[in-house]
Amino acid sequence: MGKLVLTSFVTLDGVHQAPGGPGEDTRDGFEQGGWSVPYGDDDFGRFITEVFDGADAFLLGRRTYEIFASYWPKVTDPADPVASRLNSLPKYVATSTALTEPVWSGATAIHGDLAKEVTALKERTDGELQVHGSGALAHSLFALDLVDTVHLLTFPVVLGAGHRLFAEGTLPTAFRHAGGRITAAGVSIQTYDLDGRPRYGSYALPDDV
């Protein structure tokens, strides 16, 4: 059975909306898109290459699929570490509507019960079923306990507004640190495996309890 791996870019205040460009996601009047771009150095590129090297298939939300489909099919260099995977591997799109034409080669819409559909995808994937961006989908996957590993890239910037990856109401979840690094530009890249529910304690002295 494969594992579901989520890669997400967030600011120091937890915003994950529109990291890649001004017009990427302007919901709720968000005008600060493209905040991750100034930090895209060689260290960042090496990590992204490593991530895509491990992909066996992709699971995307509808918005992220449309952003990717408008760009990556035009990148035809077979040596490109991201385009070569995205253009050749299966892509599953969680959506309630049909995909518009032309459909990106290898893309399939999944409908209905998300837990059942994603569990079936994991069962027939040998390695990593990767989720990139796809914030609304990520929220649903966390709520359903379907995420196995998170690559969390935290950028040294605070925006003060925007949609957050771990919004209020997120299912309480514990994580186990599985590795990390910091890029020359200051991006903290940390990998976590999900580890069940949080465990609680108290720093109070015994006589105070």
Concatenate the DSSP letters of all residues of 53-79 into one string: HTEEEEEEEHHHHHHHHTTGGG---TT
E-state strands within 81-167: 91-94, 107-110, 128-132, 149-155
Please give the model's pTM, rounded to 2 decimal places: 0.93
- Closest to 1 in 3D by CA, of 128, 159, 135, 179: 128
Helix H or strand E segment including 140: helix 135-143
Inside any domain, residue 206: no
Inside any domain, residue 52: yes
Inside any domain, residue 172: yes
> What is the structure's pLDDT at 139?
94
CB of 44 within 8 A of CB of 181? no
CB of 188 within 8 A of CB of 154? yes
> What is the average pLDDT value for the chain, to the nearest integer?
94
> What is the structure's pLDDT at 1?
87
pLDDT less than 50: residues of the chain: none
> Which tokens go with 178?
């599985």
Inside any domain, residue 202: no
Query: Is 117 strand, coil or helix?
Result: helix
- Closest to 106 in 3D by CA, of 49, 65, 135: 65
> What is the structure's pLDDT at 102?
60
The residue range of the domain holding 164 is 3-197
* Count of domains observed in the chain: 1
> What is the structure's pLDDT at 144?
95
Percent of the chain with pLDDT over 70: 98
Q: Tell me how far apart the alpha carbons of residues 89 and 2 are, in angstroms, rounded to a whole number.
A: 15
Domain with residue 162: its CATH number is: 3.40.430.10
Inside any domain, residue 208: no
> What is the structure's pLDDT at 146?
96
